[in-house]
Chains A and B, each alone.
Chain A
Amino acid sequence: MDSFLTYTVLGLVSGAGYAVAAGGLVVTYATSRIFNIGHGAVGMVMAFLFWELSAGRGLPAWAAVALVVLVVAPLCGALAERTVLRDLGEAPSDVALVVTVALMVALLGLAQTLWPPKPRPVSPFFEGHGFHLGSAFVGAHDLLTVAAGLLVAAGLSVLLRFTRTGAAMRATVHDPGLLALFGGRPAWTTSLSWAIGASLAALSGILLTPVVQLDYYGLTLLVISAYSAAMLGRLTSLPMTYLGALALGLLQSYTVGYLPTSGAFTGLRPAIPALFLFAVLVFLRSPQARLGRLRGAAGVAVASSRRAAPWAAVFVVAAAVAAAALPAEQALVVALGVVYGIVMLSMVLLNGYGGQVSLAQLTFAGVGAVVAARWASGSVLSLVAAAVVAAAVGALVALPALRLHGLYLALATLAFGQLMDKVVFQADFAFGYNGALDVRRLTVLGVRFGTEKAYLVLSAVVFALVGAGLLALRRGPYGRLVLALRDSETACATLGLNARLARVVLFAASAGIAGLAGALMGGLRQSVSASDFMVFNSLPLLLLAVACGVTSVTGAALGGAALAWLPKLQAQFPAAGGLLFLVVGVAAVALRSEPNGIAGWVFRFGRETVAARWTRLSGGPSPDAEPVDVGPVEAVGHAPR
């Protein structure tokens, strides 16, 4: 009974903290239709800034709070809206999603650069003050948090319901054009909502810091519960969000408190917020897909197999030359790049073609690595098994989430990744608690791939095969189907396609490719651990894939190379701790102007150069001179069969 009270107080306090964060999410979503995945990262950076100002620079706590919450955060929020987020609400949902993931990754990088890891103890406000409620002690900080939660809920409700600004904000989401017609200023109200959102993120970050301390990831992930709460409020209802946040806070507190401290459930504790998010997403049903959007997705022209085959050969030969020329440790880096490239191929299928975003592709690679280590290790069968099991796990994730797509699916994968990190990968049948697994290198048809160099060639062959397979798929009926599904699931269903099933198959296939890559990575490294496949490492992977070109196989190759080389680069400039994340985040934001990424530029440049040379040689326009960004027009159906 005593502990019950304590857990109740704890639950209410964290619930109030989630409510503050969730309120910010809902306000920004209601006005801009962008769900800010980076919301928690904003709170994290602002909590660090608060620490810097108060503990580091000696400002009184109240002044530091005021400065951060009322000045810096709103300015940053508005600035971010003006520069990178404007109009994203109208963009395809995967673009908006990727940009906010980029925001999150960039902020993580920024924080690690500005505040390199070291202990930064944070004590609650008015430490030691408070009162006893029965046996439970209620600290002044706790009271403050609950009060902040109430104030924010009341304030936001009043703002949205009773003020002109609020009315304008609510109208913006329904019809920005209409509002403009009546003299409202949607641009201004959207900036304001982002300012408020960032401010609330900062407040929740600062209030919750004593719970998790100043931890980059811990603070960033606190927002997972805010996501759940916002979903409970269906991203629109503030009261429901607030109640949802409190209920979640309580439920989590009781679960944590009363879960057995020994046995199978021990590892579950840190994953509880993720579990709740997954449950909320699955049981709540995402709203119906938006109807009536005719604009198709961007894509590069798909090479015919006659054109792709020489490039595949060039790729493999180049890998063989590199293997021969490079010392073993550099061959390892290049091979790793190729393996990352295969993971990115799985994103080409899922995101580049299918328009869905997974935030946990490396988790599937981890599944593949575990399978390759534990079953038929060293034989080709282990690769097959890795792909098959990863695909099955992918289907298992996608199945309960059958209704989910876009944002909801992405959040579900994030929760899934967290769950795997914290629970499944730590289990004895996987990597074991903080453990590592040995993976034997492959022997294929009597040929042993025993060195890094041999693995480089092997990985290149696999990349070329998977890449060629994807291109063939894309050109054929399946490719058409995937694109059709992406453009209008509704129309596909009315034509007789079991659209949900098709989406699960797509997701599973993508997970299977990632699992294959994971098995290769295991053999290459010979020893892998759960930390190699952390969900947070999936995010830079996604962003690099997108920045380099997630619509093409070439982009995946470039992205893999970049991902393998950036840490090397970073190692040479250790001062810039989070530089990698920062660079990747910024690069992904740049995708707004080129949906086909760097690969898109490369293609265009290639075409233009060829066209120019052709013109010079023949004095006439090149047959190749058609614009590149006609997309898949020449892709399917017109290729000679």
Chain B
Amino acid sequence: MPPGEPAADPAELLDPVAPGADGLRVSRVTVRFGGITAVDGASLHVRPASVTGLIGPNGAGKTTLFDVVTGLRRPETGAVLLDGDEVTRAPVHERARRGMARTFQRLEAFGSLTVRENVLVAAEIHATAGRALGRRAARARARDRADELLARTGIADYAAHRADTVPTGTARLLELARALAAEPRVLLLDEPSAGLSAPESAALAGLLRGLAGEGLAVLLVEHDMELVMGVCDTLYVLESGRIIAGGPPERVRADPRVRDAYLGPGEGAA
């Protein structure tokens, strides 16, 4: 797996690929809000068993791109491919059933449920998607899965708390656990470390590497550069809706365009 090609060639992206383990491909996606172009022909590839970072200044279009990938927003042009299948027009829940899960920058936890119920309900939706919600064995498995994920994300202590009462950092980990409950193959995380303490961030990094080790394709939007540089195999930089660089993190960081865009001109000397 060559980790470091630059922003993938869009033509190649639409080539037929071996189905089953291609991860996520985004090809020439453009989104406009009235006058402004929030995403401008962006393409990227998130490989299975890897963590791919997506960084860029505020308002670069990262969250908008997530919305397009997960189906919450229709792109003006462009395509989204999940394991080689085009899903650009598939409804949100359809993509989720095909293995896509995400967290939200602006939290979308279920506030009136407890932390445990949040994860449990996700596991139950996953266990019974498309089927009647009654299977006893499936439900028992969902419970086990929820408890396991609470432990794995380190929020088991909060299991019985209502989700609208826990600290932001915990709510973010909760969203991560909830997304994992859907047993995704592609996981999109929108600033998961905001609100986490330094040790919690470190634990998150470990968790993300572990997930990649299990074969997940992880796309990580993050402002915490230490975390990004620590866990990512590939890094893309989005600026004003355009992918301006892509490749191995070290090489991307050294790119002068990236320094200008992300760190601001003049700061690059450090």
* Per-position binary interface string of chain A over residues 470-489, scored 1 when its CB falls under 8 Å from any chain B CB and 0 otherwise: 00000001101101101110
Q: Nearest chain A CB to B204's CB is how many angstroms away?
A: 20
Q: Indicate which residue in B91, B111, B117 contacts A480 across the interface (CB closer than 8 Å).
A: B117
Q: Nearest chain B CB to A263's CB is how many angstroms away?
A: 42
B 104-125 contacts with A by CB, 8 A: 104, 106-114, 116-118, 120-122, 124-125
B 46-85 contacts with A by CB, 8 A: 70-72
Q: Which of the 9-residue segments B1-9, B12-20, B94-102, B262-270 touches chain A?
A: B94-102
Q: Which of the 9-residue segments A264-272, A444-452, A493-501 touches chain B?
A: A493-501
On whether the beta carbons of A637 and B120 are closer than 8 Å, the reply is yes
Q: Nearest chain A CB to B126's CB is how many angstroms away?
A: 6
Q: Indicate which residue in A477, A498, A638 contacts B93 across the interface (CB closer than 8 Å).
A: A498
On whether the beta carbons of A633 and B70 are closer than 8 Å, the reply is no
* Per-position binary interface string of chain B over residues 121-138, scored 1 when its CB falls under 8 Å from any chain A CB and 0 otherwise: 110111011000100000
Q: Nearest chain B CB to A348's CB is how many angstroms away?
A: 15
**A631-B112 contact in complex given A296-B164, A495-B126, C-beta closer than 8 Å:** yes
Q: Nearest chain B CB to A237's CB is how many angstroms away?
A: 13
Given the complex, which residues of A lie within 8 Å of B164, measured CB to CB? Answer: 294-296
**A292-B110 contact in complex given A481-B121, A494-B70, A636-B117, C-beta closer than 8 Å:** no
A 583-641 contacts with B by CB, 8 A: 630-633, 636-638
Given the complex, which residues of B lie within 8 Å of A633, measured CB to CB? Answer: 114, 160-162
On whether the beta carbons of B112 and A497 are closer than 8 Å, the reply is no
Q: Indicate which residue in B113, B129, B139, B182 contacts A484 across the interface (CB closer than 8 Å).
A: B113
Whether, in the assembled complex, A437 has its beta carbon less than 8 Å from a beta carbon of chain B, the answer is: no
Q: Name A487's closest neighbour in chain B (CB-CB).
A: B110
On whether the beta carbons of A292 and B108 are closer than 8 Å, the reply is yes
Q: Indicate which residue in B72, B97, B112, B133 contacts A483 across the interface (CB closer than 8 Å).
A: B112
Q: Nearest chain A CB to B84's CB is how many angstroms away?
A: 20
Complex-state Cα separation, A496 to B125, whole angstroms: 7
Whether, in the assembled complex, B163 has its beta carbon less than 8 Å from a beta carbon of chain A, the answer is: yes
On whether the beta carbons of A294 and B163 are closer than 8 Å, the reply is yes
Q: Which of under 10, 10 to 19, 20 to 34, or 35 or more describes the interface residues of B?
A: 35 or more
Query: Among A292, A484, A630, A631, which residue has the most Cβ atoms of chain B within 10 A?
Result: A484
Given the complex, which residues of B lie within 8 Å of A638, measured CB to CB? Answer: 160
Given the complex, which residues of A lie within 8 Å of B92, measured CB to CB? Answer: 490, 493-494, 499
* Per-position binary interface string of chain B over residues 15-49, scored 1 when its CB falls under 8 Å from any chain A CB and 0 otherwise: 00000000000000000000000000000000000
Whether, in the assembled complex, A299 has its beta carbon less than 8 Å from a beta carbon of chain B, the answer is: yes
On whether the beta carbons of A488 and B108 are closer than 8 Å, the reply is yes
Complex-state Cα separation, A477 to B124, whole angstroms: 7
**A493-B107 contact in complex given A296-B113, A633-B114, C-beta closer than 8 Å:** no
Complex-state Cα separation, A631 to B163, whole angstroms: 12
On whether the beta carbons of B110 and A497 are closer than 8 Å, the reply is no
Given the complex, which residues of B lie within 8 Å of A295, measured CB to CB? Answer: 111, 164
Given the complex, which residues of A lie within 8 Å of B139, measured CB to CB? Answer: 477
Whether, in the assembled complex, B253 has its beta carbon less than 8 Å from a beta carbon of chain A, the answer is: no
On whether the beta carbons of A483 and B110 are closer than 8 Å, the reply is yes
On whether the beta carbons of A492 and B112 are closer than 8 Å, the reply is no
Whether, in the assembled complex, A55 has its beta carbon less than 8 Å from a beta carbon of chain B, the answer is: no
A 196-247 contacts with B by CB, 8 A: none
On whether the beta carbons of B163 and A491 are closer than 8 Å, the reply is no
* Per-position binary interface string of chain A over residues 282-313, scored 1 when its CB falls under 8 Å from any chain B CB and 0 otherwise: 00000000011111111100000000000000
Given the complex, which residues of A lie within 8 Å of B93, measured CB to CB? Answer: 493-499
Complex-state Cα separation, A480 to B143, whole angstroms: 13
Given the complex, which residues of B lie within 8 Å of A486, measured CB to CB? Answer: 112
Q: Name A481's closest neighbour in chain B (CB-CB).
A: B121
Q: Nearest chain B CB to A405's CB is how many angstroms away?
A: 15
Given the complex, which residues of A lie within 8 Å of B101, measured CB to CB? Answer: 494-495
Q: Name A355's closest neighbour in chain B (CB-CB).
A: B112
Given the complex, which residues of B lie within 8 Å of A296, measured CB to CB? Answer: 110-113, 162-164
A 160-218 contacts with B by CB, 8 A: none
**A496-B112 contact in complex given A477-B124, A480-B120, A633-B161, C-beta closer than 8 Å:** no
Q: Indicate which residue in A298, A483, A494, A631 contacts B96 across the interface (CB closer than 8 Å).
A: A494
Given the complex, which residues of A lie within 8 Å of B116, measured CB to CB? Answer: 637
On whether the beta carbons of A297 and B112 are closer than 8 Å, the reply is yes
Complex-state Cα separation, A488 to B104, whole angstroms: 11
On whether the beta carbons of A496 and B182 are closer than 8 Å, the reply is yes
Whether, in the assembled complex, B242 has its beta carbon less than 8 Å from a beta carbon of chain A, the answer is: no
Given the complex, which residues of B lie within 8 Å of A299, measured CB to CB? Answer: 112
On whether the beta carbons of A495 and B113 are closer than 8 Å, the reply is no
Q: Nearest chain A CB to B15's CB is how many angstroms away?
A: 28
Complex-state Cα separation, A495 to B101, whole angstroms: 6
Complex-state Cα separation, A155 to B229, whole angstroms: 57
Q: Indicate which residue in B107, B117, B178 contacts A292 across the interface (CB closer than 8 Å).
A: B107
On whether the beta carbons of B72 and A490 are closer than 8 Å, the reply is yes
A 375-426 contacts with B by CB, 8 A: none
On whether the beta carbons of B117 and A495 are closer than 8 Å, the reply is no
Given the complex, which residues of A lie within 8 Å of B102, measured CB to CB? Answer: 494
Complex-state Cα separation, A298 to B165, whole angstroms: 13
Given the complex, which residues of A lie within 8 Å of B70, measured CB to CB? Answer: 494
Whether, in the assembled complex, B171 has its beta carbon less than 8 Å from a beta carbon of chain A, the answer is: yes
Query: Among B102, B107, B126, which residue has the most Cβ atoms of chain A within 10 A?
Result: B107
Q: Nearest chain A CB to B149's CB is how many angstroms away?
A: 13
Q: Nearest chain A CB to B128's CB is how many angstroms away?
A: 8
Query: Among B101, B121, B160, which residue has the most Cβ atoms of chain A within 10 A?
Result: B121
Q: Indicate which residue in B108, B112, B129 contacts A490 across the interface (CB closer than 8 Å).
A: B108
Complex-state Cα separation, A241 to B104, whole angstroms: 35
Given the complex, which residues of A lie within 8 Å of B71, measured CB to CB? Answer: 493
Q: Name A493's closest neighbour in chain B (CB-CB).
A: B92
Given the complex, which residues of B lie within 8 Å of A483, measured CB to CB? Answer: 110, 112-113
On whether the beta carbons of A495 and B107 are closer than 8 Å, the reply is no
On whether the beta carbons of A492 and B125 are closer than 8 Å, the reply is yes
Complex-state Cα separation, A399 to B178, whole angstroms: 29
Given the complex, which residues of B lie within 8 Å of A493, measured CB to CB? Answer: 71-72, 91-93, 96
On whether the beta carbons of A291 and B106 are closer than 8 Å, the reply is yes
On whether the beta carbons of B112 and A632 are closer than 8 Å, the reply is yes
Complex-state Cα separation, A293 to B108, whole angstroms: 7
Q: Name B120's closest neighbour in chain A (CB-CB).
A: A637
Complex-state Cα separation, A636 to B121, whole angstroms: 11
Q: Nearest chain A CB to B154's CB is how many angstroms away?
A: 19
**A487-B96 contact in complex given A477-B124, A478-B133, A480-B120, C-beta closer than 8 Å:** no
On whether the beta carbons of A497 and B129 are closer than 8 Å, the reply is yes
Q: Nearest chain B CB to A39's CB is how many angstroms away?
A: 30
Complex-state Cα separation, A477 to B116, whole angstroms: 13
Given the complex, which residues of B lie within 8 Å of A487, measured CB to CB? Answer: 109-113
Complex-state Cα separation, A488 to B97, whole angstroms: 18
On whether the beta carbons of B113 and A491 are closer than 8 Å, the reply is no
Complex-state Cα separation, A291 to B133, whole angstroms: 27
Q: Nearest chain B CB to A285's CB is how many angstroms away?
A: 13
On whether the beta carbons of A495 and B122 are closer than 8 Å, the reply is yes
Q: Nearest chain A CB to B140's CB is how many angstroms away?
A: 10
Q: Nearest chain B CB to A302's CB is how many angstroms away?
A: 12
Q: Nearest chain B CB to A620's CB is how many angstroms away?
A: 23
Complex-state Cα separation, A559 to B162, whole angstroms: 29
Residues of A within 8 A of B (CB): 291-299, 477-478, 480-481, 483-484, 486-488, 490-499, 630-633, 636-638
Identify 12 new A-B residue pairs, CB closer than 8 A, beyond the known A297-B111, A497-B96, A497-B125. A291-B108, A298-B112, A481-B125, A487-B110, A491-B110, A494-B92, A494-B93, A495-B181, A496-B96, A496-B129, A496-B182, A637-B116
30 contacts between A and B (CB under 8 A): A291-B104, A291-B108, A292-B107, A293-B111, A294-B108, A294-B111, A296-B111, A296-B162, A296-B164, A298-B112, A299-B112, A478-B133, A487-B113, A488-B109, A491-B104, A491-B109, A491-B110, A493-B72, A494-B70, A494-B93, A494-B96, A495-B96, A495-B121, A497-B96, A498-B93, A499-B93, A630-B162, A633-B161, A636-B114, A637-B120
Interchain residue pairs A-B with the least CB separation, the first 6: A296-B111, A296-B112, A292-B106, A496-B96, A493-B92, A491-B108
Residues of B within 8 A of A (CB): 70-72, 91-93, 96-97, 100-102, 104, 106-114, 116-118, 120-122, 124-126, 128-129, 133, 139, 160-164, 171, 178-179, 181-182
